[in-house]
Amino acid sequence: MLPPMPTTRVRTRVLAFAFLLAVVTYLDRICISAAAPFIMEDLHLTILQMSAVFSAFTLAYSLFEIPSGWLGDVRGPRSVLTRIVLWWSAFTMLTGAARGYQSLLAIRFLFGAGEAGAFPNIARSFSQWFPIRERGRANGVMFLGSRMGGMLSAPIALQLVAGWGWRASFVAFGVLGLVWAAAWHAWYRDRPEDHPGVGAEELAWIRGRMPYPTPDPTPGPTPGRVRYPTPDPAPDPTPGTAPATTPWAALLRSRNLYAICAMYFAFGYGLYFYFTWLPTYLIKELGFSLFSGGLFAALPFLLAGIADIVGGWLTDVLTRQRGLRAGRCHLGFGAFLTCAAFLFASTIVPSPILKAILIAMALASADLALGACWAVPIDIAPNHAGVITGFMNTLGNIGGLIGPLVVGYAVDRWHSWTFPFYITALVYTGGAVAWLVIDPTQQIRESDRPGLGQS
């Protein structure tokens, strides 16, 4: 007889908080794109000045990602995420108080500094609340929230701007974060052991001390067998704190760290095209109307949300059946390489509709590996997930900073969108190769000395 699932499922509420955080994060992050024409008209900004405002967020977000992720390891996600969301919500609302270019630039820079570390701290939370066999799906659900936020931000922002004006719309978006932060701080605990709703069975399940069914590789009438897994890496010994020291030397000597950063640089490089230039490409280059262009601009996020769920499930299944390298790295390699192929194919087909569909499928293909992207840092350093994902997301946002600039320069220099797509396809191909360098079975621990625990 197969063992029953845990009688309590508090970790699903942790996942619900992560999902809602991702939605609010992208609502607050992208709503300024929809409000940009109204802001530019009201504050008399040029296109170049508005571009600098967009870049101010990405620059600050990249600079403060690693320190904020490290704080999550040291102090725990409960307090650090509360501070992060309160900070960014305040500066979201303050965006509506901007009176000119300089004030708007400063506010958006501080907004990016405050939001930095949100996803690394969620990763840190997942390292404590989800066993290895559930981390891919957990990350998939969370990033479904980010794609929903990206898909909904433009229409919601446009409706609020039309009804209330652009200044009031930022106040409304900021309030959502305040509500989330209050609920999170009141309910969440950094360790499952400290939450009153967690039962003994769920705690054993989270810590990998409870048997769970896996497919039986031998034919026969028995549908499955019960496997007692090796316990997941132990949580921090002190509630809400990190190990005494962060093994910086071991981290910085780990080939895994650099391969993970290279992989996520490729992901961020391609992703930010969808945040910045896609509507312009669809309307100005492919000739879609505002309505149809808006639909095709939303399509990549819709498909990517579905891919996040499927990819999160798939990475866990492959990990359970074939091991971590297959579940994380082989899946990531295939997803990134297929993404590159879709982008290249979009430059060949003559139909604008097919081009738009292929570009949407490219993002969905890359997102198929997103659950694996964020599970791998937890696999190699569960007690330092904030730092590792901070490094990873920093490089992803540097890619996001460079990508739109390369596209803009290439289109301006050669008057063609084909060359930028070639470059992006090559970058994703490089990211696919980086996946093969990663070895998620090699962990970095507090006791690692230089030369140990490295891949």
- For residues 251 and 197, membership in a common domain is answered with no
Residue 59 has pLDDT above 90, yes or no: no
Enclosing domain of residue 80: 8-207
- For residues 108 and 191, membership in a common domain is answered with yes
Per-residue confidence (pLDDT) for residue 3, from 0 to 100:
52
- For residues 196 and 266, membership in a common domain is answered with no
Number of domains in the chain: 2
Residue 25 amino acid letter: T
Whether the Cβ atoms of residue 440 and residue 325 lie closer than 8 Å to each other: yes
Lowest pLDDT segment from 283-292, 301-310, 418-427: 283-292
- For residues 137 and 13, membership in a common domain is answered with yes
Q: Which residues pair with residue 225 across a beta bridge?
A: 214
Joined together, the tokens standing for residue 340 give 């590159």
Per-residue confidence (pLDDT) for residue 6, from 0 to 100:
62
Residue 95 has pLDDT above 50, yes or no: yes
Q: What is the pLDDT of residues 10-52, one digit of tens each?
A: 898 999 999 999 888 877 777 777 677 788 889 998 867 877 7
Q: Which residues pair with residue 213 across a beta bridge?
A: 226
- For residues 407 and 264, membership in a common domain is answered with yes
Q: How many helices (H) and strands (E) does the chain have?
A: 19, 2
- Residue 431 inside a domain? The answer is yes
Residue 376 has pLDDT above 70, yes or no: yes
Residue 385's H or E segment, with its range, is helix 385-414
- Residue 455 inside a domain? The answer is yes
Per-residue confidence (pLDDT) for residue 445, from 0 to 100:
65
Query: How far apart are alpha carbons 416 and 414 in whole angstroms?
Result: 5
- Residue 234 inside a domain? The answer is no
Taking Cα atoms as reference points, which of 448, 413, 402, 433 lies closest to residue 62?
402
CA distance to 71, 102, 279, 386, 417, per residue, from 390 (Å): 10, 29, 29, 6, 32
- For residues 193 and 276, membership in a common domain is answered with no
- For residues 21 and 154, membership in a common domain is answered with yes
DSSP string, 231-249: PPPP--SSTT---SS--HH
- Residue 223 inside a domain? The answer is no
Give residue 2's pLDDT band: very low, low, confident or very high (50, 70, 90). very low
Give the residue from 186, 207, 228 where a domain finishes. 207
Whether the Cβ atoms of residue 354 and residue 388 lie closer than 8 Å to each other: no
Joined together, the tokens standing for residue 385 give 């997930």
- For residues 306 and 197, membership in a common domain is answered with no
Q: Residues with Cβ < 8 Å from 145, sequence gap 6 or more?
A: 18, 19, 20, 21, 22, 23, 26
Give the residue from 148, 182, 207 where a domain finishes. 207
- Residue 127 inside a domain? The answer is yes
- Residue 221 inside a domain? The answer is no
pTM recorded for the entire structure: 0.75
Query: How far apart are alpha carbons 299 and 179 in whole angstroms?
Result: 29
Give the residue from 179, 207, 235 where a domain finishes. 207
Residue 395: give its domain's CATH number.
Answer: 1.20.1250.20
Q: Residues with Cβ < 8 Å from 202, sequence gap 6 or more?
A: 6, 7, 8, 9, 10, 11, 192
**Torsion sign across C-alpha atoms 381, 384, 390, 391:** negative
- Residue 217 inside a domain? The answer is no
- For residues 266 and 389, membership in a common domain is answered with yes
- Residue 228 inside a domain? The answer is no
Per-residue confidence (pLDDT) for residue 336, from 0 to 100:
98
| H-assigned helices in 96-245 | 101-115, 118-129, 132-164, 166-187, 200-206
Give residue 233's pLDDT band: very low, low, confident or very high (50, 70, 90). very low
Query: How far apart are alpha carbons 281 and 175 in whole angstroms?
Result: 33
- For residues 269 and 203, membership in a common domain is answered with no
Joined together, the tokens standing for residue 161 give 């701007």
